[in-house]
Amino acid sequence: MIKFINKGGTACKCPFVYGLFLKKKGVILKAIIFDIDNTLINWCDNFLKPLKDLLKEYGYKNQEIVLNINRSLDNHRYYYNKLTKENLFEYINKENNTNLDINFINKLIEYQKELYYKDENVNETLKYLSKKYDLYIMTDWFKETQTGRLKNMGILKYFKEIYGADNNYYKNNIKAYDVILNKYKCNECLFVGDNLELDVKIPNSLGINVIWKTNKESKEYKTIKEIKELMEML
């Protein structure tokens, strides 16, 4: 929400209609690309439980190793352009001096399909937006896992395609955006995500419109705190 001053001199809150703002610039928005974690699904501490339980099966019970391997899952993107089961478990073993195998990754992919919770605000927002725009997912994880999570949430039906780091590229590689920009002009697209570097700065550098989901204030980028705000803006 942006504050405006009415004629009486008092402040009133009115929605900033981003869609109208783009139209005034001669831009017709056609596609919206969403990140998942902390964008459509807020990350919870108990989402680490599948990783913790799985590591126990392999004899790793120390909390520190759980946190270190979780960090490795996140840092993998900085050493590889794409995600594969093979390069992921090899990277984890190298970084953490562990002896995990590809079955560990297969089980993790399956277990993580349960990392979700149903959110009616997200459902309602996506239902509304899908009637006006083509919706896509771009995520730095396995497509299979993320598809399962969205299906369990009941929102998979709103998306035309899910682009993971295994069937596409990691988002810090600009090649990741070719799958979208081969279909649309850059200014016809909007990226919505929480990561300032991956979801905002990189796509914006390519000419893609962006909305940053954050509790922070920004003079450079349009921000939202909740996904449901998009219904007022677009």
pLDDT band at 45 (very low <50, low <70, confident <90, very high): confident
Write down the pTM of the prediction: 0.89
Give the Cα-Cα-Cα angle 117, 46, 69 (nearest 5 degrees): 120
pLDDT (tens digit, 9 = 90+) per residue, 152-169? 999 999 999 999 999 999
What is the per-residue pLDDT across 127-154, written as a single tens digit (0 to 9) for each?
A: 999 999 999 999 999 999 999 999 999 9
Domain spanning 17-41+117-233, CATH architecture: 3-Layer(aba) Sandwich (3.40)
Distance CA 232, CA 18 (A): 8
- Band of pLDDT at residue 43, cut at 50, 70 and 90: confident
Of the pLDDT bands very low, low, confident and very high (cuts 50, 70, 90), residue 17 is low
Residue that the structure tokens 């905002």 belong to: 200
Mean pLDDT rounded to a whole number for the chain? 91
The pair of structure tokens assigned to 139 is 């995520």
Strands 134-138, 161-163: pairing is parallel
Q: Under the phi-then-psi rule, with left for phi > 0, alpha for psi from -120 to 50, and beta for the rest, what region is 161?
A: beta
140 closest CA partner among 224, 37, 26: 37
Residue 46: the pLDDT is 87
pLDDT at 13 (0 to 100): 43
Show me where the domains of the chain are located.
17-41+117-233, 45-114
pLDDT for 60 beyond 90? yes
Q: Tell me what pLDDT residue 82 has.
A: 96
Question: What HEC string does the chain produce?
Answer: CEEEECCCCCEEEECCCHHHHHHHCCCCCCEEEECCECCCECCCHHHHHHHHHHHHHCCCCCHHHHHHHHHHHHHHHHCCCCCCHHHHHHHHHHHHCCCCCHHHHHHHHHHHHHCCCCCHHHHHHHHHHHCCCEEEEECCCCHHHHHHHHHHHCCHHHCCEEECCCCCCCCCCHHHHHHHHCCCCHHHEEEEECCHHHHHHHHHHCCCEEEEECCCCCCCCEEECCHHHHHHHC
pLDDT at 14: 44
Q: pLDDT at residue 12 above 60?
A: no
Q: Does the pLDDT of residue 194 top 50, yes or no?
A: yes
